[in-house]
Chains A and B, each alone.
Chain A
Amino acid sequence: DTAVSQTPKYLVTQMGNDKSIKCEQNLGHDTMYWYKQDSKKFLKIMFSYNNKELIINETVPNRFSPKSPDKAHLNLHINSLELGDSAVYFCASSPTGQPGNTIYFGEGSWLTVV
């Protein structure tokens, strides 16, 4: 069983569309994250949630809306997609917040906006 699973793995969509990426972890962790990896391969945090509560919103445009129905799920919904949203989005989880915990990543979702 995959510890952190996200779907879809690949997504190609047109500008202006709304799309969602789903993430689930079966590790029993309290904390989940969304990270964005841009074309230069830099990873940056977007959001973190602890027990369904938003902890970090790293100045992400409000077109991005995370939703955590329970502590095992953290979905990312993106409205009015723009070309600059093309990136790889990684979901991750850890037992509690950093710094002392190993973090587990999903396989990534490749979003291409055309």
Chain B
Amino acid sequence: KNEVEQSPQNLTAQEGEFITINCSYSVGISALHWLQQHPGGGIVSLFMLSSGKKKHGRLIATINIQEKHSSLHITASHPRDSAVYICAVPRGAQKLVFGQGTRLTINP
């Protein structure tokens, strides 16, 4: 079992729907990253958070350190949100361990 698990692996929704992607990890961490990989392959860092909640536009990330769980929410989803969303946790000073990714497809 991977130490970072995401669910669901695939998610298809209609434009406008509220989206939730979950990430669970098995060891204690001080921060968690959410990344977005575009269909063309580029990877962009969305959030790095260590507690509570962060919001950027229609994206909201939450983390519960005690429960070892984080969620990424997208409000009013749009087809341009279609991408793979990846959570990652640090393991040591210079290493990230990644989840397997959630492939999100938003249909118009």
Contacts and interface: CB of A to CB of B under 8 A. Distances in A.
A42 B98 contact: yes
Which bracket fits the contact residues of B?
20 to 34
Which bracket fits the contact residues of A?
20 to 34
Contacts of A88: 41
B96 A105 contact: no
Select the residue from B29, B41, B84, B100 with max chain A CB neighbours within 10 A.
B41
Select the residue from A43, A48, A92, A110 with max chain B CB neighbours within 10 A.
A43
B41 A103 contact: no
Nearest to A101: B48
A66 interface: no
B89 to A, nearest CB: 8
B31 interface: yes
A56 B45 contact: no
